[in-house]
């Protein structure tokens, strides 16, 4: 039975089977993208000018990607706290790798705290002070006093 099948018949069958399979896969996974594109190509009316205007308006509506981008959040206290703590953690980790001296560490932390002036009088100030003390102690083996923490916030 297999002797009656030639190589050309076999390769034609394989090529057609592969093409049908991949067409089916494309349809299953991309039908939501393909169907609107196929419908857009069909003329909706006999007046081609109206059809082109309709297609152009659909394309401009689809090409407005700003509607799908996340909106910029206001930099409120939670975002500022997160930014501050992230920046302090990154600096302290880098300082621990370079074995930075305590005075330089305090100066750089003061510069970082200067970027966030609203946190100076924030209700989270005590937590931030504890955060600075614990991060410096854990990563740099530097013990900060309350006076040094106040100096970081430029209150000394």
* Segments forming the whole domain that contains residue 128: 77-152
Q: Are residues 147 and 87 in the same domain?
A: yes
Local confidence band at 156 (pLDDT 50, 70, 90 cut-offs): very low
Q: Are residues 144 and 82 in the same domain?
A: yes
Q: How far apart are CA 75 and CA 78, in angstroms?
A: 8
Q: Identify whether 20 is part of a domain.
A: yes
Q: How far apart are CA 87 and CA 116, in angstroms?
A: 11
What would the two tokens of residue 54 be? 């309709």
Q: Are residues 87 and 44 in the same domain?
A: no
Residue 15 clears pLDDT 90, i.e. is over it: yes
What would the two tokens of residue 21 be? 């399979």
Q: Identify whether 72 is part of a domain.
A: no
User: Do residues 120 and 112 touch, judged by C-beta distance below 8 A?
Assistant: no
- Among 10-24, 55-69, 113-127, the range scoring the smallest mean pLDDT is 55-69
Q: Are residues 88 and 111 in the same domain?
A: yes
Q: Which of 12-16, 32-36, 87-91, 135-139 is modeled with the greatest confidence?
A: 12-16
Residue 2 clears pLDDT 70, i.e. is over it: yes
Residue at a domain's end among 67, 85, 107: 67
Residue at a domain's end among 48, 67, 86: 67
User: Do residues 53 and 47 touch, judged by C-beta distance below 8 A?
Assistant: no
Q: Are residues 63 and 82 in the same domain?
A: no
Q: How far apart are CA 22 and CA 25, in angstroms?
A: 5
Q: Are residues 142 and 103 in the same domain?
A: yes
Q: Are residues 143 and 94 in the same domain?
A: yes
User: Do residues 153 and 120 touch, judged by C-beta distance below 8 A?
Assistant: yes
Residue at a domain's end among 67, 94, 115: 67
CA-to-CA separations, 91 to 2, 7, 84, 99, 110, in angstroms, rounded: 73, 68, 11, 12, 12
What is the count of structural domains for the chain? Answer: 2
């Amino acid at each position: 039975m297999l002797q009656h099948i030639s190589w050309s018949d076999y390769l034609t069958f394989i090529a057609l089977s592969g093409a049908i399979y991949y067409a089916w896969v494309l349809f299953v996974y991309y039908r939501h993208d393909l169907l609107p594109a196929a419908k857009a190509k069909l003329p909706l009316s006999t007046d081609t000018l109206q059809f082109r205007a309709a297609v152009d308006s659909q394309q401009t509506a689809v090409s407005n990607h700003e509607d799908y981008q996340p909106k910029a959040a206001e930099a409120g206290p939670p975002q500022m706290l997160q930014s501050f703590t992230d920046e302090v953690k990154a600096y302290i980790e880098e300082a621990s790798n370079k074995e930075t001296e305590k005075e330089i560490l305090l100066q750089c932390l003061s510069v970082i705290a200067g970027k966030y002036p609203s946190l100076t009088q924030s209700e989270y100030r005590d937590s931030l002070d504890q955060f600075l003390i614990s991060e410096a102690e854990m990563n740099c083996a530097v013990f900060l006093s309350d006076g040094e923490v106040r100096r970081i916030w430029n209150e000394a």
